[in-house]
Structure 1
């Protein structure tokens, strides 16, 4: 089983900064935006994006953790915020890897139950194997892989890395 590095720490930092600028340009007219990260790695990536955005904008950023049971996407989705906390605000839903699109589309569906001003999606790696018609607004890289390959992202302080394993 081989592990190939597809993104090193420097590349992930660069991508995070680029995505932060793209989000800022899209939400520049807002006062408050909610950055909702899908637990675990999506939330870690959301925190990194929020850190970068704090350096470049005066927007008030609210972090939200979105808990989706990936083995049972029909289970109720939980968030660290109440729906009234993100109602009529701009929301960005963040995940680390887009595989089939199931997790992201169920996350999107959850947020559609509340009126929002604007809604966008972010992933670090888009694998191009979507089972669902979900589009990502901001992505780090697109990667054409075989179905047998797996993308793994590890967020560790200053040693973030994304691997492709087969």
Structure 2
């Protein structure tokens, strides 16, 4: 199977920094924001955004991992921090790729059960194949792909690449 690089490591770094600026701009009056990364790649991407955000802003950034089974999103979803820590705060839900919107909408549902000050979503790659009414407020890149194509984001230490397969 042929892999086509759609985002190089340098491009991902630039997009991460731009997203950090967008988050800062929309939360400029906040003392603290919660970055909730969906397990595995979403959480790794959230960590990278946190690093970039801390370099450009005085905002205290709290990382939260969202543990969800992407194949069975109706099963129990948990977070690495208690709900009391994000209640009435500005929360940003982060994932690597927005395909159908299934993972993002079920993860969002969890956070909608707690009163939040503000709720936004971030993805590195937005595929425009949504079957649920959820959108990415901040995105690295939007691609129109066929349903047969697959987007893969690989994070290896400080390096990262996004492929179209």
Superposition TM-score tier, normalisation by shorter sequence = over 0.9
Q: How big is the shift at 1:158?
A: 2.9
Question: In the alignment, what sits opposite 2:142?
Answer: 142
Query: How large is the RMSD of aligned CA atoms in angstroms?
Result: 0.5
Q: Secondary structure at the match of 2:128?
A: coil
Question: In the alignment, what sits opposite 1:108?
Answer: 108
Q: Secondary structure at the match of 2:156?
A: coil
Name whichever of 150-159 and 88-97 sits farther off.
150-159
- Aligned partners of 1:18, 1:110: CA distance in 2, in Å? 27
- Aligned partners of 2:71, 2:135: CA distance in 1, in Å? 22
- Aligned partners of 1:157, 1:57: CA distance in 2, in Å? 24
Question: In the alignment, what sits opposite 1:38?
Answer: 38
After superposition, give the CA deviation of every residue in 1:109-140 in whole Å (9 maximum; x if it has no partner): 10000000001000000001001111110000
Q: TM-score normalized by structure 2?
A: 0.99
- Aligned partners of 2:87, 2:159: CA distance in 1, in Å? 35
Question: In the alignment, what sits opposite 1:154?
Answer: 154
Q: How big is the shift at 1:71?
A: 1.1
Aligned 1:87-102 pairs, distance under 5 A: 87-102=87-102
Q: Secondary structure at the match of 1:160?
A: strand
Q: Secondary structure at the match of 2:121?
A: strand
Q: How big is the shift at 1:76?
A: 1.0
Gaps of 5+ in 2: none
Gaps of 5+ in 1: none
The number of equivalent residue pairs is: 165
- Aligned partners of 1:77, 1:16: CA distance in 2, in Å? 26
**Is residue 16 of structure 2 the alignment partner of residue 24 of structure 1?**
no
Question: In the alignment, what sits opposite 2:81?
Answer: 81
